[in-house]
């Protein structure tokens, strides 16, 4: 019997081509899109995914491919797991990454559960990452996608073996230009559709008004100061700033100043020169190790501290309470609490966690 796979279709070229590829390979393909209650994009607003227009794009592609199509309504789950987390992290002076939580909790959580209710053997997405089954370990290995510019293994680090065993990532072996070319060759209507933006649930180009509406009175102006306590000005509210930020401070000090810290207790932004944005040591918690339970001794790995970070050599050392200390061999710019730190051994994702705090030297 043919294996049945549900493809999470966003209405974009990647997931649409994924559905076509799997059908060509002989799978019984079902298309499905999640509805999370976001507004449609407009001519003046940037492209977003998961809006009604994107659902219709996915539906038309499914019709073109002659596959069944479903809409999974996940607004409550998305509100609870992603939007509340997003707002809370900013309110605490941290910089969240909602895409990672969306993958873990929604796409490969609630969405996967609904796919399995359709008696699917697999869930497939248009992520640029690869999975390999290690016969010795009897486990799945998560690896970087072949297209290094589009590699999305970073945003998948928090998936576990119970999730990975149901997953197919066919685009991991392709480059983006190959995917677009293939979509054009087979006549997919979305072959030239623009890339969606990162924060799918915010219609505006800036997240500030979204946070203002959600957090309201929790956002208060406060002092901008240096590490010695000298006050240089006033900020609009700490949720509107992140580590390494220079623009928007409106400080006339004769030299560029950057956000080097956020003091939630004093509602203060700490600023300094560019050299002070760099650091080499930080604590990571809420860890997920993909192929083992924990680390009991120090290990060397390439560590990425944000999606577009190239990765840098570091030593990872176990601490108490299930945390680890990461020490880069060379200082890195803007190590940011709230962002994910993902650990690599070559092309293989070892695991990762969330940056809790930066250790000042």
Kindly give, in sequence order, each residue whose CB lies less than 8 Å from that of residue 105, ignoring residues fewer than 6 positions away.
77, 81, 82
Name the burial class of residue 101, with classes exposed (0-12), middle (13-18) and buried (19+) by CB atoms within 10 angstroms of its CB.
Answer: buried
**Distance, CA of 342 to CA of 290 (rounded, Å):** 11
Residue 280 host element (H or E): strand 278-289
Please say whether the beta carbons of 205 and 249 come within 8 A.
no
CA neighbours within 13 Å on the CB side: how many for 91? 16
Q: Is 87 part of the annotated catalytic residue set?
A: no
Residue 54 host element (H or E): helix 52-65
CA neighbours within 13 Å on the CB side: how many for 291? 19
Distance, C-alpha 143 to centroid of its chain = 16
Residue 221, number of CB atoms within 10 A of its CB: 11
Tokens of 335: 């190590």
Choosing from 49, 50, 87, 200, which is the catalytic residue?
200
Residue 250, number of CB atoms within 10 A of its CB: 11
DSSP reduced 3-state for 241: coil
Please say whether the beta carbons of 142 and 129 come within 8 A.
yes
Q: Phi/psi class of residue 338: alpha, beta or left (left: φ > 0; alpha: ψ in -120 to 50)? A: left
DSSP calls for 97-136: -HHHHIIIIIIIIIHHHHHHHTT-SEEE---SEEEEEETT
Q: Is 102 part of the annotated catalytic residue set?
A: yes
**Distance, CA of 142 to CA of 148 (rounded, Å):** 14
CA neighbours within 13 Å on the CB side: how many for 191? 14
- Alpha carbon distance, N-terminus to C-terminus of the chain: 61
Kindly give, in sequence order, each residue whose CB lies less than 8 Å from that of residue 209, ignoring residues fewer than 6 positions away.
none
Please say whether the beta carbons of 239 and 90 come within 8 A.
yes
Q: Which residues are catalytic?
A: 102, 200
């Amino acid at each position: 019997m043919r294996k049945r796979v549900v493809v999470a279709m966003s209405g974009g070229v990647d997931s649409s081509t994924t559905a076509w590829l799997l059908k060509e390979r002989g799978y019984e393909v079902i298309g499905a899109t999640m509805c999370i209650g976001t507004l449609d994009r407009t001519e003046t607003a940037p492209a977003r995914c998961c809006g009604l227009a994107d659902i219709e794009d996915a539906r038309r592609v499914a019709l073109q491919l002659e596959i069944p199509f479903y809409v999974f309504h996940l607004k409550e789950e998305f509100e609870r797991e992603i939007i509340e987390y997003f707002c809370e992290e900013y309110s605490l002076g941290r910089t969240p990454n909602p895409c990672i939580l969306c993958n873990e909790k929604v796409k490969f959580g609630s969405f996967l559960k609904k796919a399995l209710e359709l008696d699917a053997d697999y869930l497939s997405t248009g992520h640029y990452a690869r999975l390999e089954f290690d016969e010795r370990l009897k486990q799945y290995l998560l690896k970087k996608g072949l297209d290094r510019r589009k590699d999305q293994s970073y945003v998948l680090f928090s998936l576990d073996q119970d999730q990975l065993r149901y997953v197919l990532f066919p685009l991991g072996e392709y480059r983006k230009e190959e995917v677009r070319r293939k979509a054009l060759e087979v006549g997919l209507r979305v072959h030239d559709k623009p890339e969606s933006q990162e924060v799918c649930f915010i219609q505006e180009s800036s997240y500030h008004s979204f946070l203002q509406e959600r957090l309201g009175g929790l956002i208060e102006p406060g002092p901008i100061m240096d590490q010695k306590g000298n006050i240089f000005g006033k900020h609009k509210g700490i949720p509107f700033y992140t580590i390494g930020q220079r623009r928007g401070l409106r400080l006339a000090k004769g030299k560029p100043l950057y956000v080097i810290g956020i003091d939630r207790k004093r509602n203060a932004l700490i600023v300094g020169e560019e050299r002070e944005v760099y650091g080499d040591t930080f604590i990571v918690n809420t860890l997920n190790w993909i192929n083992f339970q924990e680390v009991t001794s120090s290990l060397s790995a390439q560590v990425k501290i944000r999606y577009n970070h190239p990765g840098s050599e570091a030593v990872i050392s176990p601490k108490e309470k299930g945390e680890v200390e990461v020490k880069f061999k060379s200082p890195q710019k803007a190590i940011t609490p709230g962002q994910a730190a993902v650990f690599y051994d070559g092309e293989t994702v070892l695991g990762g966690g969330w940056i809790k705090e930066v250790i000042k030297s």
